[in-house]
Amino acid sequence: DIVMTQSPDSLAVSLGERATINCKSSQSVLYSSSNKNYLAWYQQKPGQPPKLLIYWASTRESGVPDRFSGSGSGTDFTLTISSLQAEDVAVYYCQQYYRNPITFGQGTRLEIK
């Protein structure tokens, strides 16, 4: 199985500041023939299901604010929130869909400092 490891486990950032969450996979999730990274990011707020933010590692889902961006390739990925808003308080998960079983990172809790 591909193990997904996020860092940090929790993060406190001031409003308007940048938040950076990292995700590392135990093996590459870059499919060479398509040159696409099979990685997604989700946001989960308390009492709600996860919400898709990013797929193909860097493609923002429609309707997601442009302060959210994804980057990285191979085994190392980053979710960046350029200017933290109060409504961004949530737990964030990365997910690989390179092969079954689909696996998620353990989550990163983002709070306001």
Residues that bind another protein (CB under 8 A): 38, 40, 42, 48-52, 55, 61, 93, 95, 97-107
Residue pointed to by tokens 């860097």: 58
In angstroms, give the least distance from the CB of 72 to another protein: 16
Measured CA to CA in angstroms, residue 83 lies from 20, 57, 65 at distances of: 11, 20, 11
In angstroms, give the least distance from the CB of 107 to another protein: 5
Q: Which is nearer to another protein, 8 or 18 (CB)?
A: 8
In angstroms, give the least distance from the CB of 3 to another protein: 13
Q: Which is nearer to another protein, 17 or 65 (CB)?
A: 65
In angstroms, give the least distance from the CB of 83 to another protein: 25
Q: Which is nearer to another protein, 16 or 48 (CB)?
A: 48
Residue 100 to residue 48: CA distance in whole angstroms = 25
Nearest alpha-carbon partner for 80 in 35, 30, 22: 22
Angle at 72 between CA 11 and CA 5, to 5 degrees: 50
Q: Which is nearer to another protein, 55 or 77 (CB)?
A: 55
52 neighbors 4 (Cβ within 8 angstroms): no
